[in-house]
Amino acid sequence: MRKIGIIGLGHVGATIAYTLVTKGIVDELVIIDTNDDKATAEEYDLRDTLARLDTFTKIIPQDYDALSDADLVITAFGNISSIKMDGDRFGELNFNAEAVKEIAANLKATTFNGVLINISNPCDVVTTLLQQQSGLSKNQVFGTGTFLDTARMQRAVGQALHEDPKNISGYVLGEHGESQYTAWSTVEVKGHPITQIASEKGLDLESLDQQARRGGWLVFSGKHYTCYAIATCAIKLAQAVLSDAHLACPTSVYIEEYGHYIGYPAVVGRKGIIEVNKISLSVAEKAQLDRSAKIIKEKLVH
């Protein structure tokens, strides 16, 4: 039996819940939010879909104990109103750091021993705090991190070259935030190095990197939240856990060298992070990763 919990039912958490139910991905879904009325509303909105679906999902609201035998918990809590239009995801840090204390304590009070995928921002800092305070292993806890930013890079490159974004491979690394960067040495278009293509076609890689970095704010400026892309990333990671897919992708993963979580390639399976997928970077790209790690660490100290 496949069982997932979602903690935080804002735009992202609700979109994930809807997708899990309508696609028949889970047999049991536990939904939890600090707002009881919101949790009840989402519960019954989901229940009202069941008579029109080909699958059935048991919906369990507001019950941490029900997470004891869950395969996976997705954390999507936050305070979107604390994020300004300047692109600083650290606006939610104080609110979410306090929320981590309560959520981690509630999880520890259960026998939950599955995988935890964090979405809440600032993703790398909050994922680190969740791991430290939940008592779960570093392999069991990871974040969506630059999995989303990599998709935005794929979209930007695909648009520039009139290619399906799935034909673009490579990584955006570092903080899920302003210090992220595209490791262009890893990017290929249908197996061809992007650096070669950029030289031949006069592509401005710096502009494309900026489009990836600012992609979320383009959406945020119009609707004041994002949900579809990040929910899709979370669903793909959840399915990788449920099916033990050994999915190679960038996530917010614990890196020993830095002592905290950061966007970097990893392999995801049934038990969470199976391995950190160490890749070769140029000297400049490694320096960018170091710089981004330093920014994350500074926020962890304060």
Residue list, annotated binding site for NAD(+): 8-13, 33, 96, 119-121
How far is Cα 204 from Cα 33, in angstroms, rounded to an integer? 44
Opening angle at CA 71, ends 108 and 279, nearest 5: 95
Of the candidates 162, 176, 192, 246, the residue annotated as catalytic is 176
What are the CA-CA distances from residue 201 to residues 67, 76, 161, 205, 209 (Å)? 52, 41, 9, 11, 16
Distance CA 131, CA 210 (A): 31
Q: How many CB atoms lie within 10 A of CB 135?
A: 13
DSSP for 256-296 reads TTTTEEEEEEEEEETTEEEEE------HHHHHHHHHHHHHH
Residue 118 pairs in a beta bridge with 75, 143
Tokens read off for 118: 């964090």
176 catalytic residue (yes or no) = yes
What contacts 183, CB < 8 A, 6 or more positions away? Answer: 170, 171, 172, 173, 279, 281, 282, 285
Binding-site members are 8-13, 33, 96, 119-121
205 token code pair: 């890689």
Q: Which residues are catalytic?
A: 176
